[in-house]
Every structure is written in C-alpha cells, then in structure tokens.
Amino acid sequence: MNISDNLNTLLQSLPSHVTLVAVSKTKPLEDLKAVYNTGHRIFGENKVQELVSKWEALSKDIQWHMIGHLQRNKVKYIAPFVHLIHGVDSERLLKEIDKQAAKNNRKIPCLLQIHIAQESTKFGLSDSELEKILSEKETYPNIVFKGLMGMASFTSNLQQVSEEFAFLKALYDRAAANMETFDTLSMGMSGDYELAIAQGSTMIRVGSKIFGERNYS
C-alpha cells in the first residue's frame, strides 16, 4: 500500500468539479507529508487538538478542514486558521464561530450539517432548522455560508444511501437558489463517494482509501 499512489489513483478518477479532502485523522505526520509531497493541500481532521497540532507541525499552505463534531468551547483554537468547518449543526455553535471569527478579524467559511441518515446517532439539522438559520443569516456577519454537508447511513443498502444523498442534493438546490455564497455540497467518504458524486456531491471526504485503515487501539 502506497499513500501517494492511492491519492493519485483517486484524484485521476474524480470529475474536475469534485474537491477531495484527504482525511488524515489518527495518521502520523509522515503519512500527511507523503500526500503533501504529491502536491495535495486539502486535509481534514475531526478532533480539534489533533487538527491544531498538525497545523502547527506542517506547512502553512495547507488548507485545514474541520470535519468532525465541533464543541463550542473549542472553536477558539481553530478560528485563526481553519479553512472550512463542515459539521455546523446548531445556532449556538454558529454564534460562537461568528464571535471567534470577528476576534480573529476574518470570516470563517462553514457548511451546515444536515441529518440525512436513518441512525439517530448522526448529528445534523432538520430541513426546518436549516430554513430558519438561513432566513436569519444576517445574524452571522462573520460566517460565509458555503453550503451543506451530510453523512449517509452506514449500511450495505446502496439504494438507501443513494436516496439519502439525493435528498440532501435536493435540499441543497432549494437553499442555493437564495444563497449566492453557496458552492459546496460535502457528501461521500471512502465507502460511498462514487454514489455521492453520482447524486451531485462537489466535495468528498476520503480517509481510509488514501491512508489505509485506521487503528484506534
């Protein structure tokens, strides 16, 4: 298994309108450097502490994406540098990101996470919560609303996964009609990114297919 080969094979298979976030959570710096040395600059992490320490250790031209569940009290640590926050799923979190963005004199690009899976454990907004937030978007002058993110059910039922992605795409299209800053629909991981792209994804978050299986022990 060779990380840079995995990355290049994947990149060559992607349509040009799809952006790849290389999900490097739990992986050591040398694995990230292997990807960096191929020229790729977009990385995703799901834990604030790990994101900050990798940002400190690696080249400053990397675009760091926060893809995991974000706690309000940790926003301040990533606000100075984060390129895109994928998992925004509450008004309270949005308010905190807006506040920390202002403190850092920047606007922070965010994706609103929508609950599309059958499992009750996955985070995310309902469509009515989404509508409410977007109708109050002026409340958050330091946030750039870039689009939506979702995670499909963890199931081998491909029909179900496709339907969940299609649901999110329809929601995205409806919202984007009134949101001139929308340009990103983040859906698809190692196991389902092809289905996601077929349903209109513009950004995929892929970890194990590039870096190999994660070892949490």
Exposure string for 25-36, b = 16+ CB within 10 A, e = fewer: bbbeeebbebbb
Q: Which of 22, 35, 66, 67 binds ligand PLP (CB under 6 A)?
A: 67
Q: How far is CA 194 from the centre of its chain?
A: 16
Residue with Cβ nearer ligand PLP (182 or 193): 193
Q: Which of 32, 68, 88, 172 binds ligand PLP (CB under 6 A)?
A: 68
Locate all alpha helices (DSSP H) within the chain, ordered by sequence.
3-13, 29-36, 48-57, 75-78, 91-103, 127-135, 158-176, 193-198, 208-211
User: Residue count at the site for ligand PLP (CB under 6 A)?
Assistant: 13
Residue with Cβ nearer ligand PLP (182 or 207): 207
Taking CB under 6 A as the criterion, which residues in 14-33 touch ligand PLP?
23, 25
**The dihedral sign for the CA sequence 60, 62, 65, 66:** negative
Smallest gap from residue 121 Cβ to ligand PLP (A):
13
Taking CB under 6 A as the criterion, which residues in 174-193 touch ligand PLP?
189-191
Residue with Cβ nearer ligand PLP (142 or 208): 208
